[in-house]
Amino acid sequence: MNKTGKPLLKRSYHIPLAMYDDAFLRFQKKFVYPQNLLLTAVLLVIAGVYVHAAIKDSTQTIAYLLIVVCIAIVLIRWYRTFKLRRAVHDALKDVEQDTYELSVYDEGLLIRTMDAPEPETAEKPEPEIALDFEPDASAEQTENGFQQLFPEEPAEREPVPPTEIPFGMGLKLLEYPDYFMAYIVKQNFYVIPKKDFSEDEILQLRKLFRIEPDQKPE
């Protein structure tokens, strides 16, 4: 992405924890809940078949076992979904006070964490954005405000190079009443709060993000 020119829009901002929570819930409803509901429906149908078999022949102990297994898988799946939301909330407390800087170019977005230490060298390569979708893994808050849905164990914060997000490559942008959300291939999302932008800047973001002026926020 060409960052040599002057950005079309540049602004620093802060993201409240409650806004992160709201964004993550919306993200789960968009990508995780549909999968959970589909799995729940399939397993309940299978369990229903074994319930019918158990009623016809009460000696089929394997049928009772499979009914329990189906119900257990459904409960575990939903439990992990809600537990993940709590884990994300707790992890985000460590970065709630961070300040971010957004620079918008014709080619994409550049996000810098203002309160984090600078990278050791300017030549340090930008981190690649992982594109694999692993819905059953854990989650954490990555640097530059990115919400990485499936994290490893927490570690000490290290110098943070700027994050480049080119337009295209699966990047989608949505508008909600209090913020914009940029997400990439069902895995990462970024929250851009409206409270730190003027009305003119919000209109400019809508245009840059190709959000129609008459499109109402969800």
| 100-117 per-position pLDDT tens digit | 999 999 888 889 888 654
Would residue 214 count as lying in a domain?
no
* Same domain membership, residue 202 and residue 106: yes
Would residue 193 count as lying in a domain?
yes
Tokens representing 2 are 């060409």
* Same domain membership, residue 152 and residue 101: yes
Would residue 216 count as lying in a domain?
no
* Same domain membership, residue 105 and residue 43: no
The stretch 50-72 carries a mean pLDDT of 90
Q: Which amino acid is at 168?
A: G
pTM (whole model) above 0.85: no
* Same domain membership, residue 202 and residue 102: yes
What's the domain range around 55? Answer: 30-90
Would residue 22 count as lying in a domain?
no
Q: What is the pLDDT of residue 173?
A: 85
* Same domain membership, residue 51 and residue 154: no
164 bridge partner residues: 110
* Same domain membership, residue 34 and residue 101: no
Would residue 195 count as lying in a domain?
yes
* Same domain membership, residue 108 and residue 194: yes
When divided into structural domains, the chain yields a total of 2
Would residue 86 count as lying in a domain?
yes
Would residue 124 count as lying in a domain?
no
Tokens representing 54 are 């158990």
DSSP string for 137-193: S--EEPGGG-EESS--S-------PPEEEESSTTEEEEE-SSEEEEEETTTEEEEEE
Q: Looking at the chain, how many residues does it have?
A: 218
The stretch 24-32 carries a mean pLDDT of 90
- CA-to-CA dists, residue 181 to 97, 159, 217, angstroms: 19, 25, 11
- In the predicted structure, residue 40 carries a pLDDT above the cut 50: yes
Asked whether the beta carbons of 96 and 141 are under 8 A apart, the reply is no
Higher-pLDDT residue of 37 and 91 is 37
Higher-pLDDT residue of 133 and 45 is 45
